[in-house]
Amino acid sequence: MNISFLNIKSEDKSIWDTVDPQNYGVLLLSQILRDEGHKVSIHNNKTIKGKLEKIARESDAVCFSFFTSGANTAYKVSKNIRELSPGKPIIMGGIHPSNFPKEALNYSDFVIRKEGEIALPRLINTLERGLDDFSDILNLSYKSGGRIKNNPSAEMIEDKSILQISPARDLDPNKKTLNRIPVLTCGRGCPYNCNFCSNIFGRKMRLNDPEWVVEEVQKIIKNNYSGLGNVIFFGSDNFAANRQWAKDVLTLSIKKNLAGKICYHVQTRTDIARDQELLDLMKPFVTRDYIGVESFDDEVLKDLDKGISAEKMKEQLLTIINNGIPVHTHLICGTNYDTAEKIHKTVETAKDIGAYAISLFTLTPFPGTKLRWKMHNEDRIITNNWDNYNLHHVTVAPLIDRPSNIQRAVVDGYKNFYSLNGVYKNLKKMPNPVALLYGLSLWNAFRKYNLNSHIEFLKNWEEKRYDRNNELIK
């Protein structure tokens, strides 16, 4: 069969358009289907322009993958395909369809929930044989007789012969763009239970073998799949959750003489500061460590159950930075006890400790999270427009400050940190000169990014939801 994958993002401009990381899951599924003899192509928002009619006509099935912020755009494209080629099987997967299969089935014929490496090939082969019995395909949701059928969920995949298949990077539509960033999965699962995260891969970690990981790094280098700066992003919520595994990967990278040939972007927690051996191994490779700091305010950290004080957080971050590892701090704005003033102080603290980049993520009630149910039950969700679920827009009401104030603080915080002077001060010491270009591109993106219309929307919402004492009406 001729299978087309559509990796769809929101049509709305985003700050994150400055980088273009791969969708690892789509690449892996593409290789699995290709190994079974199917013809596979991958498209994105840019490559479908002017080609959608051809894709709809020539494909035997069209598979969509998207995050929540891309849902509206994906549904629009799906509707167009149905109009161009009625009866064409449309399959949706990814985090958003996994959590909202009923919604996704309004725009598709099938939804594969959670892991699709076994379910999707079975579905494609069933369609190829012209059969209409899908009842034995685990993780599958579909319509039958006008009713939605949700087949039982499968156990999480443990088979490394599946998880360690080399993805079809040669099919990546962005493989020649300068800002491309190849993604390399460390494994699946996260042991933590953050209420703002939708973890569809379970809490048990299933790590790929260090030898396989380093072999994939070598393939990326050999085939020039990395973009400007020779960067690989390790797709794991915590690269060092298993410290020995991380050390094995880095030690093997050194043995293979990869230092200087490739840069690793990873995500960790501040507690790596307690492991000097790990820091020493990270230094030759890691040119960006994304760390979920969330805030430098003790009241906010306590509300988020971080289990660490602001002072200890700063101490550990300084240790990491002083060991030559550039830190990109992830900060959450708009929590229960957050205020515009606290956000301002947090940004200033990030500058003072020497973080070279920040992300001011707005607290977002994503589908499938405990946070969403809590905010729904407390009637604090401001909007369900998925376009606004891109971590830029305030979508829930905090307890002690107005949403519009939080939104303005986010915009001002970005402009403060990514001023030309700030970019120069924070990035001139970077070991990789490409980081300076990255910082300048972010400065340019934040300079252009405009959230004024959303701020006005929030102010209108507030008129009916706050009393004269400036307290939220429940």
Cα–Cα nearest to 11, from 97, 80, 72, 90: 72
Cβ neighbour number for residue 94 with a 10 Å cutoff: 28
> What local confidence, expressed as pLDDT, does residue 193 receive?
81
Convert the pLDDT of each residue in 134-157 to its tens digit.
999 999 999 998 899 999 999 999
Mean pLDDT of 311-318: 97
Residues facing 140 on adjacent strands: 112
Mean pLDDT of 429-451: 63
> What local confidence, expressed as pLDDT, does residue 423 receive?
67
Mean model confidence pLDDT for the chain: 91
Backbone angles phi, psi at 447, to 5 degrees: -65, -35
Q: How do strand 147-150 and strand 140-144 relate by DSSP bridges? A: antiparallel
d(CA 114, CA 95): 7
Which SS3 state, helix, strand or coil, does residue 328 take?
strand
pLDDT-derived band at 17, boundaries 50, 70, 90: low
Per-residue DSSP letter, 365: -
Asked if pLDDT for residue 18 goes beyond 80, the answer is no
Convert the pLDDT of each residue in 268-284 to its tens digit.
999 999 999 999 999 99
